[in-house]
Structure 1
Amino acid sequence: MIIRQFTLRQGRCVIRRNAARQWKRCLASPADSIHQSLQNQLQETRAIESEVNQYSIHHVQTIDAETHAPVETDSIAEDFQELLRQQKVTGSLGTEVAKHYQPHTLISNPPRPSDVTLELLLASQAHLGHNTSLWNPANARYIFGVHDGIHIISLDVTAAYLRRAAKVVSAVAERGGLILFVGTRNGQDRCVVRAAGLAGGCHLFERWTPGSITNGLQILGKCRLKVVNEFDEEIPGFDSQLADRPPLKPDLVVCLNPLENYIMLHECGLNNIPTIGIIDTDANPTWVTYPIPANDDSLRCVQVIAGVLGRAGQEGQAARREAAARNHITYAPAENLKAPQRDTRSKENGDVHADALDAEARQVSRHT
């Protein structure tokens, strides 16, 4: 259809010269001669269309992969078969660009302290600070430079301080300490729960209740306490002795957003509880004991730091259980705990469960 229209519209250019001359002569001829000229013109036009259709068939000149010589094909089926053969030969060539960033892996398989690299921190946007007009002068030693009015955090300092914080978390977990992970911003709940589960500690992803540490007897007085042995197995029989004991205080607090939890950090300072926090360029590094200069607005950066600290706590817990298997206790025993009294009749009857309870009670009296 396209060729026919092209031929009719541009007949002077496509039709041969003699046909064009006949077209000119037919304009001045009588009606019969005009009709005969039109018939001849139509036949010539159809002949030209057939020639164009023959040359417009899809001919693909392929190249042999071995000899690099052109291969002539005669039909569309052969062209398609040749295309499949070339795809089979050259399909394995080249490289595939895989997806490097998978967000769920930072929760399901967080990095370890040994996996901390500058590339990982750079990919997690840990180097991006705030505008230069919002900076805190106390962070001058953590700032690398300025780009487009934004402070750039030195990733060398971030990696060094993150490894130091990981060692602190691992040491506290190895000595049986209680670690509290706090992250109250939107999206931080999953990484906070995951890090606390790895380190065997507690987590908080909602609003901090003021006075939970300084006035813990009134706020957390109804929380249940339990006695465990060196393998974290609960030992029954101590409920009566735990009724009047004050609630436990964390031995270490990891805060992922210190700006929103200043009251909690102040209470930790009043009770000499060490803290670890992510310090951006607009925060005060003196609020926490072990600052980690990084971007606290990037969820990916927060997930990386929380995962590293959670893995560090997991390593500390594993080291503590391994030492307990060698009958070496790494933490001080609990005070004012007495072994539970059992019925003397069960001893006379040779109750095996009662003997095991006595053995566990003796371990608790020494090591818990």
Structure 2
Amino acid sequence: MAQKITYQELLEAGVHFGHLTRKWNPKMAEYIFMENNGIHIIDLNKTLSCLDEASFALKNIVRSGRKIMFVATKKQAKDIITDEATRLNMPFVTERWLGGMLTNFATIRKSLKKLSQIEKLMKDEAFTNLAKRERLMVTREKAKLEKLLGGITDLNRLPAALFIIDVKREHIAVTEALKLNIPVFAMVDTNSDPTTVDFPIPANDDAFKSISIIVKHIGKVIEEGLAERKKDKEDVASKKDEEEKRKVDETVA
């Protein structure tokens, strides 16, 4: 089982630092411990509790063979999200969220198909025979599509859930998920509305250290879920082999 994060580790990573009190969202009141020098301090005991709840749900989703889409377009979250999602073979969005990425997924799939066709064309000998200007246009188109859709190239159906850094910034993604009844897991700071997501994790969503410790923990939980799924499949295959062997033995007997 993934090792639990301790209160002290969250404290050292600055997970407890919220926004200025004048920028708060009153709906975050239950997750706020106190005010200090005009800044709201997040209750880390609540963070730990919410993290446990989110981890349990995420692991079950992954164990069932479904995908979690990571979403974070803010600078301090991009690299850690890209690294973890890539390592876990999960879809991710770290550039601009395209309106309709979920609610108009059929159109997004067309764009993914176009990217695949361009990649195929560029490997073909015919590509080298194109005029320099045409090659340049194709290359630019590929770069543009890769930048926007590079993290979801293997996504052939809607994700089972979203994991978001900063729900206020990624409000379009939250809205689309809500319309499609896709559960949302998210780091929620004191300036955001936690009621817009299914599994809010009260935490500082602006500092790299804070984002990193939460995302890496979620990554370990997902990794564990993937390992359990692999074991489940192996157990099923083993039982099937045993059953077939038993039938053969009975027939021979």
Structure 1 CA distance for aligned equivalents of residues 24 and 111 of structure 2? 42
Structure 2 CA distance for aligned equivalents of residues 218 and 247 of structure 1? 12
Offset of 1:265 from its aligned partner?
Answer: 0.6
Offset of 1:247 from its aligned partner?
Answer: 4.4
**Corresponding position: 1:316 with 2:225:** yes
Offset of 1:198 from its aligned partner?
Answer: 4.1
**Corresponding position: 1:201 with 2:110:** no
TM-score by structure 2 length?
0.74
1:175 equivalent in structure 2:
64
Structure 1 CA distance for aligned equivalents of residues 33 and 166 of structure 2? 22
Check 1:198–1:162 CA distance in 2 against 1; reply closer, same or farther (3 A cut). farther
Structure 2 CA distance for aligned equivalents of residues 113 and 124 of structure 1? 19
Q: Is the 8 A contact 1:216 1:247 kept in 2?
A: no
Of the candidates 162, 165, 169, which is equivalent to residue 51 of structure 2? 162
Structure 1 CA distance for aligned equivalents of residues 228 and 13 of structure 2? 30
**Corresponding position: 1:293 with 2:202:** yes
Structure 2 CA distance for aligned equivalents of residues 160 and 321 of structure 1? 28
Offset of 1:194 from its aligned partner?
Answer: 2.4
Structure 2 unmatched runs, 5+: 114-154, 239-253
Check 1:275–1:328 CA distance in 2 against 1; reply closer, same or farther (3 A cut). farther
**Corresponding position: 1:260 with 2:149:** no
Relative CO higher for 1 or 2, CA cutoff 8 Å, sep ≥ 6? 2
**Corresponding position: 1:136 with 2:28:** no
Of the candidates 178, 187, 197, which is equivalent to residue 269 of structure 1? 178
Q: Is the 8 A contact 2:166 2:189 kept in 1?
A: no
Of the candidates 75, 78, 83, which is equivalent to residue 189 of structure 1? 78
SS in 2 for 1:320: helix
Structure 1 unmatched runs, 5+: 1-111, 225-245, 330-368
Matches within 5 A, 1:50-199: 113-199=2-88
Identity among equivalent pairs (%): 30
Matches within 5 A, 1:224-263: 247-263=156-172
Q: Is the 8 A contact 1:129 1:280 kept in 2?
A: yes
SS in 2 for 1:130: strand
Offset of 1:199 from its aligned partner?
Answer: 3.5
Q: Is the 8 A contact 2:76 2:206 kept in 1?
A: no
Structure 2 CA distance for aligned equivalents of residues 270 and 328 of structure 1? 38
Between structure 1 and structure 2, the one with the greater Rg is 1
Structure 2 CA distance for aligned equivalents of residues 326 and 269 of structure 1? 36
SS in 1 for 2:195: helix
Q: Is the 8 A contact 1:268 1:275 kept in 2?
A: yes
SS in 2 for 1:258: coil
Residue type of the partner of 1:299?
F
Offset of 1:113 from its aligned partner?
Answer: 4.3
TM-score by structure 1 length?
0.51
